A and B are shown apart, each in its own frame.
Chain A
Amino acid sequence: MSATIIIGAGHAGIQLADSLRTRGHDRPITVLSAESELPYQRPPLSKDYLAEGDPQPLPLRGTEFYHDHEIDLRRGTAVTGIDPRTRTIGCADGTRMHYDDLVLATGSRNRRLTLPSAQGPGVHYLRTAADATLLHDDLDHATAAVVIGAGFIGLEFAAAAARRGIDVTVVEYGPRPLARALTYATTDQLTVTHRAAGIDFQFDVQVSAIEHAHGRVSAVVGHDGRRFPANLVVIGIGADPQTDLAAAANLRIDNGIHVDEFLRTSDEHIWAIGDCVSFPCTHAGTRVRRESVQNAVDQARALAATLTGTPTGYQDLPWFWSHQGSCKIQIAGVGGPTDRTVVPTDPTTGKFSTFRFRDDVLVAVESVNQPAVHLAARKVLSAPRRPSLTDLTRAGFDLKSLSARSAAISAG
């Protein structure tokens, strides 16, 4: 009987197993997870999980799910190698398994700060439930935290820590937070909101050392010699794809595991989905790698269709969210550095959206505390014909009415 093996039990791997069963795949499915926990949702780890109390990871599915759907979930099982010639994988415990289709859903790993001093008690990275538990426990004793890197994880942590009354300083190499992901309109207002919540931002600072005293972290030192005292440090400077297994199996790597639009790697029996892949993206017009729940889940759904006999190219609209203190940030679509941006409502109200246009066509919408605008944006941007700046100006930038109207036209 032909067998499907999935390496990785994050959003991508578990959604794939679920969607395969939903679509009637009736052959053996094995999911291999290097972690020991029941597969869980990662996004809450940098948000709700950091509040006071005794948080529990939110499982992706209940324990019965794996039993009821005959999914052989093997926790604590690290894969050590893939042999594409014999279509077998080897595990750290010595097990060898044969596959007909192998799916790599190996995710990404934190980029490490390459300083010898960037480790030890009080210095944290955040990715896994184990990381989050260590950080959560350490927060009980923290009074001053320094966050290195003003990315999504760093800012989500900063907001959660400030809410707990901890002094927070964010040290960022660039001139503003989230520079690659968001427009100035959004990051400017975000910076104002975070500062009002007591978070101190230090931009254009390169970290040159982390100091320790009495067996614990004591300060972060910038290239200009400034010291930022801390008894807790969180490093969030980005992530890299987990490509070691793929590279060792001689699969093509290109800023992630190289896959075609059907999510197939350079080996015809090996597929890859989620954070670990680079794929041709119709929305970006180029090959990209994305780290998001949406990307993981929608690629899993597309691949499940392909593996059950309906070849399906992945082309879903990218979307993303981040919850930082009082700001719920949601992004739909793909912006670019040369976009024209329009902000129709006053950002200082704390509820606003930034519309991004390329060649006068809407390509992305960033919303802060406007979840309904975000959902309407996803509908509008997924439609075959996207509105122009003129269309939106005429509609008073009311995406909800625009999406209702286009739905009525296509239905009628």
Chain B
Amino acid sequence: MPKITFHQPDGRSDVLDVPDGTSLMRAAVTNSIPGIVGECGGQAMCATCHVYIRSAHLTDLPDVGEDEDEMLDCTATARAPQRSRLGCQILVTTTLDGLEVDLPESQI
């Protein structure tokens, strides 16, 4: 299973084995990773699963959708050009093995 690393703002990190086809949001919530809320259940409607993608895998990600783009302008912690994504919109695949994400200071 692809390994995904979630880095907390305080420097701690967790590595998860994430099944193919599972979203970053679901993986984080299911494994009790702090800092991901997923309030709307994965509909790209609440912007509470904001993550910053580390550069190594930026080009492997699906394009930012229209709704996602709009929501990323409304995140609690400022959007970073290129690196900001919604965790619910990124489904893990084998090409994303080794992906590392940083979690924002706040989601609400």
Q: Which residues of A contact B (CB under 8 A)?
A: 41, 43-44, 47-48, 58-65, 68, 293, 297, 321, 323, 328, 330, 369-372, 374-376
Contacts and interface: CB of A to CB of B under 8 A. Distances in A.
A187 B73 CA distance: 28
A58 B46 CA distance: 16
A59 B71 contact: no
A301 to B, nearest CB: 10
Nearest to A370: B70
Q: Which 7 A-B pairs have the closest CB atoms?
A: A62-B32, A375-B74, A44-B41, A372-B70, A65-B32, A64-B32, A41-B41
A371 B44 contact: yes
Chain B facing A: main interface SS: loop
Contacts of B73: 372
B45 A68 contact: no
Contacts of A43: 40-41, 43
B45 A330 contact: yes
Interface string B10-39: 000000000000000010011110000011
B70 A321 contact: no
Interface in B37-56: 38-47
Contacts of A58: 26, 29-30, 38, 41-42
A411 to B, nearest CB: 15
A290 B91 CA distance: 33
A48 B67 CA distance: 17
A48 B21 CA distance: 14
A291 to B, nearest CB: 16
Given A61-B32, A328-B45, 6 more contacts: A47-B41, A48-B43, A62-B31, A321-B46, A323-B43, A374-B45
Given A41-B41, A328-B67, A375 B47 contact: yes
Contact of A371 (B26, B30, B41, B67): B67
Given A371-B71, A375-B74, A321 B42 contact: no
Interface of B: 26, 29-32, 38-47, 67, 70-71, 73-74
A59 B30 contact: yes
B39 A68 contact: no
B43 A328 contact: yes
Contacts of B47: 371, 375
B56 to A, nearest CB: 27
Contacts of B46: 321
A330 B71 CA distance: 13
B43 A68 contact: no
A376 B71 CA distance: 11
A372 B71 CA distance: 6
B90 to A, nearest CB: 15
B67 to A, nearest CB: 6
Contacts of A323: 43, 45
A96 to B, nearest CB: 31
